[in-house]
Structure 1
Amino acid sequence: MHFKKIINNTLLRLIIVLGFSLTAFNIHAFNGGGSSKFSMPKHDFANGSVNNQPITNMDDLMFRQPNPNVNVNGIGIFVYDGMFSLDALGPYQVFKTAALNAFFIAKKKGPVTMSNGITINVDKSIDDVSKLDVLLIPGGAGGTAMQTIDPEVLAWIKQIDQTSIFTTSVCTGAWILGAAGLLEGKDASTHWYRANEMLTKFGADYTGKRWTRDGKYWTSAGVTAGLDMSLALVNHLFGKEYTQAVMLDMEYDPQPPVKGGTPKKSAPIIAQLMQDMYDFFLINFVNCPLGTPGACLFN
């Protein structure tokens, strides 16, 4: 029992020093469900200062953040049928682990089914949301192509962008931002599939980077790169130590079993076969002029 008490006290001190929101842990494991009043220094990782503020219970401790460089109160993730699940759920996990207010928005309230069959129920529609601090657009394949010709979706994205602090995309979500006219003259990342052709169509320059920031616009490469971009945004808001705490809570330390993940790192035959697969579904969309009716996309 004495050893267990020492371990618990050590864990508590570590959490206080980090000032980190370990939302996944049960607060009763630390104080038996009770509350005690004490004052500990809060480390402001973003600015390198310490602010003495009272901690009245474990809830206060768990939800503490350093003062951000930029105040972000709402992160809206636009979701739609056919999108890649990790494009949305990965950043959502990062933002929630960082104790940020992230939520899903769809064109209409109700179920949204992703490309792998996962269905989520969305309780906010684009009619409900007129302003966001951060907008994130995930990618996909055919479902994404359809969003690029939806006038209601594009008009809403342009409206949100007028007042957003950051407008972001994951994977081929950059196609949607591009179709809304938001990437013209910008450096951008996107999924590797015909990336130069697609971004050139939208007046953007493809960087080939894991993620790219150009002013208020943050764009990432395909799928898993959305995790890196989201962590980069957390780092921009709160600084290195808090970001490391988020990464540790998620145990984010990718170590894939084989080399790959980009065309250059993959065997040439694999890269060609994957491009051929995407061409089968999307080459007409790649070749369609901007603003073309939907019939052009898949004929």
Structure 2
Amino acid sequence: MDVAYVLYPNMTALDLVGPFEVLGCVPVVSPRFVARTLDPVRSDNGLTVVPTDTFDTLKSADVVVVPGSGHWREVLRESAELVAWLREVHPTTKWTTSVCTGSTLLAEAGVVTKATTHWAAREDLTVRGVEACTDRVVFDGKVVTGAGVSAGIDMALQLVEREFGTAVAQTVQVGIEYDPQPPHAYDSIPPEVTQNLRSLFAASQS
């Protein structure tokens, strides 16, 4: 099973690496890394990934994984080639997936009708005619979207279960010791934290 991970400047590394590690635990999965050119691609926090394929050379994939970015509106403005590739490759896939704001690129390509994304980017789905959901993982036909950043692991585990069965998904989950125990419950975090983040995100888009 070929899995094409989409690369572009300022992508969020965990959006890519989370699903890559989960899916990579399944022996039949072969990763590909596709970008506009074969030049190394730098993530928003500095991780650099070397593509194996370009949008011109890779025309089909069993699975496509589109990471998001904290600079998603800038990415949307500069993503014409990526979006065109998504439209072209989507009919060939068994699963087209995204993590975090990667779903806004699927929305821009017109290949999804219902999706989740990072909480700060839901309006960017709705303005593109996509039903924005608050669930951590959303299946919309063969399109699977994960919410913000860390949800890429959940998305990939659910995809493994759909494709290979519960026992394989459980094996992968135990193998990567995925048992989240964050220091703060979501409902205990003060609202000003979210507001401060909104301001930071807004500043990053300008």
Which bin holds the TM-score, normalised by the shorter protein? over 0.9
The letter of the residue matching 2:195 is Q
Is the Cα–Cα contact under 8 Å of residues 148 and 179 in structure 1 kept in the other structure? no
Map of 1:112 onto structure 2: 41
Does 1:176 find its partner at 2:105? yes
Amino acid at match of 2:92: T
| In 2: Cα distance, 1:208 partner to 1:253 partner | 21
Q: 1:279 Cα deviation (Å)?
A: 1.6
Distance in structure 2 (CA, Å) of the matches to 1:247 and 1:144:
33
Which residue matches 1:191?
118
SS in 1 for 2:50: strand
Shift of 1:198: 1.1
How much is the aligned-residue C-alpha RMSD, in angstroms? 1.5
Q: CA deviation at 1:110?
A: 2.0
Contact 1:199–1:205 at 8 Å: present in 2 too? yes
Q: How does 1:1-299 map to 2 (within 5 A)?
A: 73-99=1-27, 100-142=29-71, 145-183=74-112, 186-195=113-122, 197-260=123-186, 266-282=189-205, 298=206
State the distance in 1 between where 2:130 and 2:169 align.
Answer: 29
Bigger drift between 138-147 and 102-111 goes to 138-147
Alpha carbons of 1:198 and 1:153: their partners in 2 closer, same or farther (altered >3 Å)? same
Aligned partner of residue 168 in structure 2, secondary structure: helix
- Contact persistence 2:115–2:132 (CA under 8 A): yes
Unaligned runs of 5+ in 2: none
Q: Which moved more, 1:251-260 or 1:203-212?
A: 251-260
Q: Computing the radius of gyration over CA atoms, which structure comes out larger, 1 or 2?
A: 1
- The letter of the residue matching 1:210 is R
| Alpha-carbon distance in structure 2 between the residues aligned to 1:148 and 1:241 | 42
Asked if 1 retains the 8 angstrom alpha-carbon contact of 2:157 and 2:169, the reply is: yes
Count of residues in Structure 1 that have an aligned counterpart in Structure 2: 205
- Structure 2: distance between partners of 1:116 and 1:88: 13
Offset at residue 120 of structure 1 (A)? 1.7
Q: Would the alpha carbon gap of residues 212 and 148 (structure 1) be closer, same or farther in structure 2, given more than 3 Å must change?
A: farther
How high is the TM-score relative to the length of structure 1?
0.66
CA contact (8 A) 2:15 2:150 kept: yes
Deviation string for 1:92-134 (max 9, x for gaps)? Answer: 0001112222221111102111111111222211112001111
Aligned-residue offset at 1:144: 6.1
TM-score (norm 2): 0.94
- Equivalent residue, structure 2, for 1:294: none
Letter in 2 for 1:187: K
Structure 1 segments of 4+ aligned residues over 2 angstroms from their partners: 141-151
The one-letter code of the counterpart of 1:226 is G
- Measure, in 1, the Cα distance between the counterparts of 2:108 and 2:95: 18
Task: Indicate conservation of the 8 Å contact 2:145/2:155, yes or no.
Answer: yes
